[in-house]
Amino acid sequence: MTIRVAIAGCRGKMGSEAVKTVCNRDGLELVAALDYKHLGDSLAELEMFPSSLDVPIYTNLTQLITETKPDVLIDLTNPHSVYEHTKEALLHNVRTVVGTTGFTDNQLDELKNLAKSGKVGCIIAPNFAIGAVLMMKFAKEAAKYLPHVEIIELHHDRKLDAPSGTGKKTAQMIAEVREATKQGHEFEKETMPGARGADFEGMRIHSVRLPGLVAHQEVLFGGEGQMLTIRHDSYNRESFMDGVVYCVEKVMTLEELVYGLENIL
């Protein structure tokens, strides 16, 4: 069976890589693109894509769904749009694979209920890189024995949310096996606000934003006379594409929302 795919955010760095990947994978067909700027009737009119790529561009998701009938929507847009896109797709019984982060807890709960009530698959993956998923799994295991933890996540300077979805997800996974504990000196004081990073159940998360970076994270575990560092680096966006394709294929079998690639591997 060929899976009909639509991509939201096709002109972005992740989105354009996903366009190329979907077009080159057997069993997948790119049927539409969603873009907040309607720059032409099809992707073929954009310089960044081959002139043979006759795939229609839409600015309205409902119209896209009605006219092209995708099986799966891949959303690689931004935190301002992703919630509405995902909700709209689920309401129209279109399965969704979401790589955009920035959901609130309330939004996630609502989307989980929508997916479950409609029996529509949805995968929200803070990180599609298999190595990043393993990094999070290993960090959770290490925290059982070394509970003093700090997370440093590093991304390109165009990223809109901080901390990253991967950083937050890592902290949430660690919190499942680590008792909430304040770290550092009891009388510690920030002489410059934010110097110690975000506080998640006593763990600290630090966000670095610089040009030249793609997606990187290290988790530091401190113990008496030792430190363990678990790190993952994505040097290009191709590193995410196997995970994207896996999610597109997997979401066709789901009837609920799954948050995190580690839950379906």
First to last CA, the chain: 22
pLDDT tens digits, 242-263 = 999 999 999 999 999 999 898 9
Task: Name the CA dihedral angle for 58, 62, 64, 65, rounded to a multiple of 10 degrees.
Answer: 160
Q: What distances in angstroms separate CA 51 from CA 26, 131, 249, one per listed residue?
A: 21, 34, 27
- The whole-number average pLDDT for the span 221-250 is 96
pLDDT tens digits, 171-196 = 999 999 999 999 989 899 999 999 99
Question: Does the annotation mark 38 as catalytic?
Answer: no
The pLDDT value recorded for residue 79 is 84
Judged against a pLDDT cut of 90, whether residue 41 lies above it is answered with: no
Name all domains of the chain by residue range, CATH numbers in brackets.
3-124+238-263 (3.40.50.720), 130-234 (3.30.360.10)
**Helices 241-251 & 13-24 angle (0-180, nearest 10):** 60
Question: Does the annotation mark 137 as catalytic?
Answer: no
Judged against a pLDDT cut of 80, whether residue 40 lies above it is answered with: no
Catalytic residue among 87, 112, 140, 155: 155
- Tell whether pTM > 0.85: no
H helices then E strands: how many in the chain? 7, 12
Contact 79, 142 (CB under 8 A): no
Catalytic residue among 85, 140, 159, 206: 159
